[in-house]
Every structure is written in C-alpha cells, then in structure tokens.
Amino acid sequence: MTSSIIYQKNGMKSKVLFFSIILLTIWSHSSLWGQELNFKVTVDKLPIASLQKSDPNFMKILAKKVEEFMNNTKWGDDEFKDYEKIKGNMLIVITEELSDRVYKADLSLQTERPVFNSTYVTPMLNIQDKNITFTFDEMTFFQKTINTFTDNLSAVLSYYAFMTLGLDYDSFRANSGDPFYKKAQEIILSLPPNVASDDGWKSIRQGDKNRYWLNENLQNPLYRQFRQAFYEYHRHGLDGMYSEPDKSRAVILSALTAIGQVNLDVPNSYLIQAFCDAKSYEIIEIFKVADRGQKDKVRSIMSDVDVIRKRDYEVLR
C-alpha cells in the first residue's frame, strides 16, 4: 500500500490529507467537491424512558434526519472530497418524553483525524452533553444555525459541526479554526433568553462544563498557548511519529508541558478537560515505550492536568 500527501490551500487552511491506493478505486465517485462531515448517527433510549406518545419509528426517523443534516449541510467555504471528510460518531439517547413531541436527551460525540503515513486515527472530540431538550416529529427539518435561532436541536447540532471543524483546522494550521469558533459563538449569541439559560448554554459560572465555556475557552487569549500546543501535538508530533518517533515524542512532551502550564494559569477549564477526555489513552500509549525521564515527566504533568484519571497514568511509573 502506498501513501501520498495532498496539500489543500484555500485562504486560512493548509491541510495534510491522506489516501491509500485503495481509494484510487473509488476516485471516480469522489470527483464532486462538497460537504465536510461524515458522521454516523444513532438514536437510542434509556430502558426507563417510555415513549408512549411517539411514533414507533421515532428513533429511526430522528437518526436519519440528524445524520442527513450533519452530512449534507455545507458548513464552511472550503471544499472537501469524500475521502477528506471528517468522520465522527454521534449517539443521542432519549432520557425522557416530556410531552407530545418534546424530549430530553443526552448526546455523545466522538470525532477523529487521520495521522500521516499511518492507518491510525487520533480522537479529537469525546463529548458527553447531557439534558438537551428539543421538539421533534416526522415533519421536523433541522436548519443550519448561525445568527438566527430556529430550534434548540438545530442550534446544538450546528454548534458541534462548527466546533468539530474548528478543532480539525487547528490541528493542521495554528489558530486556523477561528472562523468556525466565531460561527459557534454567533449561535450562542442568537439564543433567546429562555434557551440561553439552559444548563448546556448558560454562561453564569466560569468553569462550567458546557457548550458556552468550551467555545469561550477556544477564543480566550488565555488559551492561546493551549491552541499552539494543540497544533504542535498533532502536526509536528503525531504526524511525524512514523518517520521520526523519538523526535515526535519529544514534540508531544513539549506540547503537554505547555498545556500543563495553561492548566496552572487557568485551572479546571472545560477545554483542557475535553482535551484529556479525548487524548488520555493515546498519551499513555505514546509514552509507554518512552525513556524513563519522559515517562516521569508525562505522568507528573497529566496527573495534575487530568486528575480524574490520575491512576491511569501510573502505568508510566
């Protein structure tokens, strides 16, 4: 199997793209440029969540419509071919039927990015978003939301589309995700007061683990060092592991050191927690084969940064 690198440049983005010889067999089917996402969406319900007022096919219909909305909407200006699309898995779990057509649900989202010259994909987001209230029936159509509010689920889905793209762009070129974070911010600013006060959106307490603060952190100058480290971690760390593993591991350690410093300056931030939620297992695997000095440094940094998984890093002792 052979690999190539393609550089796509369109203003703010210079992105390394990966494909194998296998993909050449489907090249003719990928000739049209288009949407950026390739999400698999599943809808389920808690066993205790009775859906007595809903159509028996409600969950299948919802999954299909969400998947079509995420994958068929054009979210930015750059054009993506099929093999360039950002892959992700979204799980919506219905927790309660509040009334006719009104539901409460938890949303889980995992997105990924390919690593150069490798079959490995690195996790980018691993989000657990709880207690989302929305209205839905078979006639519902979701709408891309930026600065005009239509409904809560459209706003939540649009928000995560923009955040997914922002992080992906940031990993290929430093700070190039800014336009997408600003669009996500416009969604937040467009919310009516009764929606903006919802736990998932509200801005009352700094450090809350919600959509508002994830977006705020990514645009806050206090986290510029984190975003530079995020870029270094991916572009000069992971992407070099195949050809120069020792050098790349050192780059990743430097990036983690910078993130550790940000955590000291701004403790308990949602942005750093989200990074750890996605990367903890990966970081452990990268440094299992490192020298003793690197292992000790990573264990020390991550034990402070990722307190809830402190025991997991003891494998590096």
pLDDT digits 0-9 by tens, 177-202: 999 999 999 999 999 999 999 999 99
Q: Residues 286-312: what's their mean pLDDT? A: 97
Maximum Cα–Cα distance across the chain: 60
Q: Report the range out of 13-22, 136-145, 201-210, 299-308 with the highest average pLDDT.
A: 299-308
Q: Please give the Cα distance from 317 to 311 (Å, whole number).
A: 10
Q: Write out the two tokens for 229.
A: 């480290």
- Half-sphere exposure of residue 76: CA atoms within 13 angstroms, side-chain side: 29
Q: Are 256 and 228 in contact (CB under 8 A)?
A: no
SS3 of residue 250 by DSSP: helix
Buried b / exposed e across 179-198, counting CB within 10 Å, b at 16+? bbbebbbbbbebbeeebeeb
Please provide the average confidence, as pLDDT, over all residues in the chain: 89
Comparing CA positions, the residue from 6, 5, 67 lying closest to residue 38 is 67
Residues 252, 290: Cα–Cα separation, whole Å: 12
- pLDDT value, residue 4: 32
Q: Which of 27-31, 95-99, 163-167, 185-189 has the lowest mean pLDDT?
A: 27-31
241 has pLDDT over 90: yes
End-to-end alpha carbon distance in the chain: 37
Give the SS3 label for residue 180.
Answer: helix
CB atoms within 10 A of CB 17: 16
**Residues 114-120, mean pLDDT to the nearest whole number:** 95
Q: Does the pLDDT value for residue 134 go beyond 90?
A: yes
**Least confident residue range of 5-9, 15-19, 71-75, 117-121:** 5-9
Look up residue 311 and give its amino acid: R
Helix (H, G, I), strand (E, B) or coil at 216: helix
pLDDT at 33: 55
Query: Stretch 94-107: mean pLDDT, rounded?
Result: 92
Q: Which of 45-49, 51-55, 125-129, 244-248 has the lowest mean pLDDT?
A: 51-55
Query: Which residues, in sequence order, are bridge partners of residue 15?
Result: 8
pLDDT confidence tier of residue 55, bands split at 50, 70 and 90:
confident
Q: What is the chain's Cα-based Rg?
A: 20
Do residues 175 and 227 lie in contact, with contact meaning Cβ atoms separated by under 8 Å? Answer: yes
